[in-house]
Amino acid sequence: MTPAQRGPSAGGLTRVGAGIDRAWRAIGLDPHGYAQRQPEKAERLAIWLLGLGQTIGYAGIYYIFAALLLAWDAALPWGKSWLTFAFMCAILTGAAVSPLAGRWVDLGRGRWLLGGGMALGAGALLLLGTAQSYAVFLLAWLVLGAAQGASLYEPCFAFVTRTTGARARRNITLITLVAGFASSLAYPSGAFLAESVGWRAAVWIFAGVVGLIGAPALHAGATMLECCPVVPRGAEARAPDEAAYRAARARPEFWLIFAAFPLFGFTGGMVIAHVIPILTGAGLSLPQAVLAASLFGPMQVAGRLTTMLLGHRVRPLTVTAVSFSGLVCAVLVLLVVVPRVPMAAYLFALLFGASYGLVSILKPVVTVEVLGPRGYGRIAGVMAVPFLVAMAIAPQVGSVIWRLGGYDLALSAGLAAAALALAALLVLIGRVRRGR
């Protein structure tokens, strides 16, 4: 099928792609040709490039909000509530973009989605740095939300799953191991730059890194993987993918996954947003609370490393059950034990970090294991919507519940959501086992 037969959009992308490929070759690089000559080496290099791109992307278009929030609050007149409202709108915009992103993955346009989304994020950061009014600030974050929905974990993992098949679990784990350092990159660099050159220049520096390193890394890595995919893609694959998506939606397993992971994400998002005041309210000093919360990151990496080392010896659904159970236990410890034994906060942090760190790996892997790889981009895009919405509203819902009945009530609500997530997952496991 020719580009013209696929439609003007595909033909235009083909022409632009040829121009970008020529630009790569002009500087002595040829990702597409290298993938054709050395597919195995190219896949390994591509995964590291995607990991680099995700690290820069999360640091530059996601964690930059938390990194610069204090600077914005001090320099801008709108207050934290309106600032955080803009960030929530960004996440909701990413959720709205996710289904379209999934369709692009299924149509073989992954390199445009990932690289273009990251470039869009760089442009939004340039706009953000000029913001003098709240309308411009909000607009910049809406565009950043679209960039997040097009280039961060959800579409990236859908793309890796479609292009690397059985190796996707290990590849996704490697990407998350690298990208796990994004917050460690964003927080100190954001604080240093805001103090040294001001928040506007800091945002523009982030824009340069995102646009000049992050976008090319994602584009080159995706180009190498899209050269030789496991599952054939293209416009001709649209009908089978649509049929697979409709068939998946007709299965109860689809809706169990659709419910379980957002409930998990809701509890995790609420705890992360409020963990410092919860711990200090339970009797820890501020340094002790910060130390406990700082264990989240290392434990996420530890959980992901353990999953990678286990490889295929343990089924993804089993690991997911352990992860969901760990979250329930962590919230129980935080709600019941920490107020009586404050030092149990470190046990909570270990359980929570290790459990929460696995969800980004397990969601795509479990979805493919249960529903199959065909049409996965569309399925993953739809699945991302409730998960991202839950993550977006969790901090605000936690604040409302706190005002009504304190953090004990908020944690009880989080515990109920985590228990419902675990129940849905256990029903899913039972159905899968009976099916086998």
Predicted local confidence at residue 305, as pLDDT: 84
User: For residue range 129-176, what is the model confidence (pLDDT) as tens digits?
Assistant: 999 999 999 999 999 999 999 999 989 998 998 888 888 888 988 898
pTM: 0.82
User: For residue range 84-108, what is the model confidence (pLDDT) as tens digits?
Assistant: 889 889 999 999 999 999 888 888 8
Q: Answer whether 348's CB lies under 8 Å from 330's CB.
A: yes
HEC string for 337-362? HCCCCHHHHHHHHHHHHHHHCCHHHH
Is residue 236's pLDDT more than 70?
no
CB half-sphere exposure, 293, CA atoms < 13 A = 18
Say how far apart CA 19 and CA 13 lie, in whole Å.
10
Predicted local confidence at residue 334, as pLDDT: 95
Predicted local confidence at residue 345, as pLDDT: 93
Q: What is the third-level CATH fold of 245-435?
A: Growth Hormone; Chain: A; (1.20.1250)
Locate 373 and state its tokens.
């790889």
User: For residue range 366-412, what is the model confidence (pLDDT) as tens digits?
Assistant: 998 898 888 888 888 889 899 989 988 988 888 889 889 888 999 99
Of all residues in the chain, the percent with pLDDT exceeding 90 is: 45
Supply the mean pLDDT for the chain.
87
Predicted local confidence at residue 4, as pLDDT: 42
Predicted local confidence at residue 340, as pLDDT: 93
Is residue 231's pLDDT more than 60?
no
Q: Answer whether 161's CB lies under 8 Å from 253's CB.
A: no
Neighbours of 18 (CB within 10 A): 10
Summarize the confidence of residues 197-215 as an average pLDDT: 95
Question: Which residues neighbour 306 within 8 Å (Cβ) at sequence distance 6 or greater?
Answer: 354
Equal fold, 18-233 vs 245-435: yes
The CATH number of domain 18-233, selected from 1.20.1250.20, 1.10.287.130, 1.20.1580.10, 1.20.970.10? 1.20.1250.20
User: For residue range 167-179, what is the model confidence (pLDDT) as tens digits?
Assistant: 888 898 889 888 8
Is residue 9's pLDDT more than 70?
no
User: For residue range 408-425, what is the model confidence (pLDDT) as tens digits?
Assistant: 999 999 999 999 999 999
Locate 388 and state its tokens.
């991202």
Question: Which residues neighbour 283 within 8 Å (Cβ) at sequence distance 6 or greater?
Answer: 338, 339, 342
Is residue 12's pLDDT more than 70?
no
pLDDT band with cut points at 50, 70 and 90 for residue 8: very low
The candidate with the shortest Cα–Cα distance to 179, out of 214, 205, 211, is 214
Is residue 213's pLDDT more than 90?
yes
Predicted local confidence at residue 337, as pLDDT: 94
| DSSP code for 236 | G
Summarize the confidence of residues 78-83 as an average pLDDT: 86
Residue type, 271: V
| DSSP code for 228 | S
CA angle (323, 384, 95) in 5-degree steps: 135
Handedness of CA 170, 176, 181, 185 (dihedral sign): positive
Please give the sequence-ordered ranges of beta strands (E in DSSP) within 280-433, or none if there are none.
Answer: none
Predicted local confidence at residue 230, as pLDDT: 56
Say how far apart CA 430 and CA 260 lie, in whole Å.
14
Question: Which residues neighbour 106 within 8 Å (Cβ) at sequence distance 6 or greater?
Answer: 162, 233, 237, 238, 241, 375, 376, 377, 378
Domain limits, the chain: 18-233, 245-435
Say how far apart CA 374 and CA 115 lie, in whole Å.
24
Is residue 295's pLDDT more than 90?
no
Say how far apart CA 73 and CA 71 lie, in whole Å.
5
pLDDT band with cut points at 50, 70 and 90 for residue 1: very low
